[in-house]
Amino acid sequence: MTIGAASRRVRVMGVLNVTPDSFSDGGRFVDADRAIERAIALVARGADIVDVGGESTRPGAEPVTAEEEGRRVIPVVRTLASAGVHVSIDTLHAETAIAAVEAGARTVNDVSGATFDQDMLHAVAAARTPDGAAAYIVLGHWRGVPDPAHQRSEYADVVTEVVDWLRERAEAAVRAGIASDRIVLDPGLGFDKTGAQCWELLRRLPELSALGFPVLVGASRKRMIAETLSGVPEAARAHPGLEHERDLATAVVSALAARAGAWGVRVHDVAATVQALAVEAAWSGGQDCARQTAAQQADRITLTGLEVFAHHGVFDFEREQGQRFIVDAEVRIDLRRAADGDALGETVHYGELAEAIDAAVRRDPVDLIETVAERAASVALGFAGVQAVRVTVHKPDAPIGLPFADVSVTVERSARGAAR
C-alpha cells in the first residue's frame, strides 16, 4: 500500500456485503455462490481489493455473533483468496478477523478502530495468511454503531478530534505489534457525524494524511450523498446503467478524494469510480507528475540468489525428492521518504521480503515454475509502497537431458494489475 495524491495509485476497494440487511444491497449476495460471482465481477471492473462483510453496521441493524458472521464470510474469503483476489474482511470481531486471515484475507477492516473488540489489535498482529504474510488493518473512526439522531455528533472541531483519535488508535496498533506500514486510517464518514461534518473531513483530508498513514475514504451511497442530492431533480438522479442513484455522485467524491491525497476509496459501484479516477488522473497529468512517476519507478530494491528447497515439478520424482529453486526479486518503490527520515517503515524490509517469498515458494507443490513466479510476485506486491515487481525463478537442477546452465521464468507485475 502506498500514500500518494496521484489517482492512478488510488486503490479501489469494492464492497461485498454478504448480509441480509445492509443498507443499500442487503440480501443480494447472502448466498455464497452469488457473493463470489459478484466479487469476480468487481475485480473485472477494476477493484484492487474486495471488502467482504458479514454484519451490517447501518443504524438499527441487528448485531451478529462471530460464529454467524464467520459462517457467512469464511467460505467466500477462502474461495476468493485462492483465486488470487486481495480480500479485506470487514468485521468488528477478532475471532472473525483471525479466521478470515487464516483463510487468505490480507486486510482487516475494522470500522470501530479496534475499540469494539479489545482483542482485535493483538489478533491482527499475530494473524498470518496461508503464505505467511502479516495482515494489514484499516482503523476507522466511530463513537459507536451509527446513530441516525446524531446524539453523539458533537465536536468542537470534527477534523482535529478525528485526527487525534485515529493517531491514538494507530499508536495503539503499533504497540500491539502491527507494523506501521500495515496500518490504514479511515475518517469514518457517516459514523456519528452529520453530513456537514463529513464534508468538512473531506475538505481537510490532508490533515489526516499528515499523520503519515494511508487514508481510505468510504463515502459510497451514504446519507451525506443523499442529503447533497436532495435538491437535484429526481429525473437527474436516476441514470440507466447505474446500480444506485447515489453512485454517480460517489464516483465524483472518489475523484476528488484522489486529488486530496487519499490512498484508497471504498465503493459499491466500482466501474463508475474507476472511470472517474481515470479522468482525474488525465486531468492531473503533466510534466511534474511524469517526473515524479519516473523518479519513483527508478527507485528499487533487489534481492538476488534466494535459495529455496521445494517440491515443484511435472514429474513424480521431482515432487517426492524436491530440488533447489533460486529466486531473484526486484521491487520498485519510492524511497525518498525512507531516505529523508532514515525510516524503516517507509521502505521494504528485505529480510521480511525474503521470508515471505520463501514461504510462498515452499507452499503446496505445483507443476510449473511459472506458477511459483506468480506466487512470489503476488507476495512482493503485498508489501507497503511497492508499485511493481520483477521476479525470476531459476530451476538449475531441472530434469533436462542435455547440458545446460540454467532455466528460469521471469514475470513482471504492477500494483494496478493485481490486488493490494
> 3-state SS string over 47-74?
CCEEEEECCCCCCCCCCCCHHHHHHHHH
The residues with which 147 forms a beta bridge, in sequence order, are: none
C-alpha–C-alpha distance, residues 372 and 368, integer Å: 7
C-alpha–C-alpha distance, residues 125 and 377, integer Å: 23
- Residue 410 backbone dihedrals phi, psi, to 5 degrees: -120, 135
Global pTM? Answer: 0.66
Query: Is 193 one of the annotated active-site residues of the chain?
Result: no
Q: Which of 29, 125, 124, 120 is nearest to 80 (CA)?
A: 29
Longest dimension (CA), the chain: 78
* Residue ranges covered by each domain of the chain: 7-284, 294-414
Contacts 24+ apart (CB under 8 A), 168-176: 169/113, 169/114, 169/115, 169/139, 169/141, 170/139, 170/211, 170/213, 172/114, 172/121, 173/114, 173/121, 173/124, 173/125, 173/137, 173/139, 176/121, 176/122, 176/124, 176/125
Q: In Å, how far are 138, 141, 143 from 16, measured between CA atoms? A: 16, 21, 24
> Any idea which residue has 517426492 for its cell?
320
Predicted pLDDT at 148: 64
Predicted pLDDT at 241: 66
All three cell numbers of 128, joined, read 498470518
CATH 3.30.70.270: does it fit domain 294-414?
no
For 295, what's the count of Cα atoms within 13 Å in the CB-facing half-sphere? 10
- Report the 10 Å Cβ neighbour count for 27: 11
Q: For residue 197, which amino acid is it?
A: Q
The residues with which 138 forms a beta bridge, in sequence order, are: 109, 184
All three cell numbers of 262, joined, read 487519499
Supply the DSSP string of 108-165, one letter for each residue: EEETTSS-SSTTHHHHHHH-B-TTSPBPEEEEE--SSS--TT-TT---SSHHHHHHHH
Strand ordering across the sheet containing 107-110:
183-186, 136-140, 107-110, 87-90, 49-53, 11-17, 264-267, 216-217
**Catalytic one of 221, 223, 246, 266:** 266
Query: Is 395 one of the annotated active-site residues of the chain?
Result: no
C-alpha–C-alpha distance, residues 413 and 405, integer Å: 26
Determine if residue 50 is left, alpha or beta; phi over 0 gives left, psi from -120 to 50 gives alpha, anything else beta. beta
CATH 3.20.20.20: does it fit domain 7-284?
yes
Predicted pLDDT at 346: 83
DSSP 8-state assignment for residue 5? S
C-alpha–C-alpha distance, residues 343 and 247, integer Å: 39
- Residue 395 backbone dihedrals phi, psi, to 5 degrees: -125, 75
For 389, what's the count of Cα atoms within 13 Å in the CB-facing half-sphere? 30
In order along its 420 residues, the chain shows pLDDT tens digits of: 433 333 346 999 999 999 874 445 544 666 788 899 999 999 999 999 999 999 877 565 577 898 999 999 999 999 999 999 999 999 999 999 999 999 999 999 999 999 999 999 999 999 999 999 999 999 999 987 666 666 777 899 999 999 999 999 999 999 999 999 899 999 999 898 999 999 999 999 999 998 989 999 999 999 999 999 988 888 777 666 677 889 999 999 999 999 999 999 999 999 999 999 999 988 887 444 444 444 444 588 999 999 999 999 999 999 999 999 999 999 998 888 788 778 888 899 999 999 999 999 998 899 999 999 999 999 998 888 888 899 999 999 999 999 999 999 999 988 643 333
Residues 6+ apart with CB under 8 A from 142: 111, 112, 113, 115, 188, 191, 192
**Catalytic one of 9, 204, 222, 413:** 222
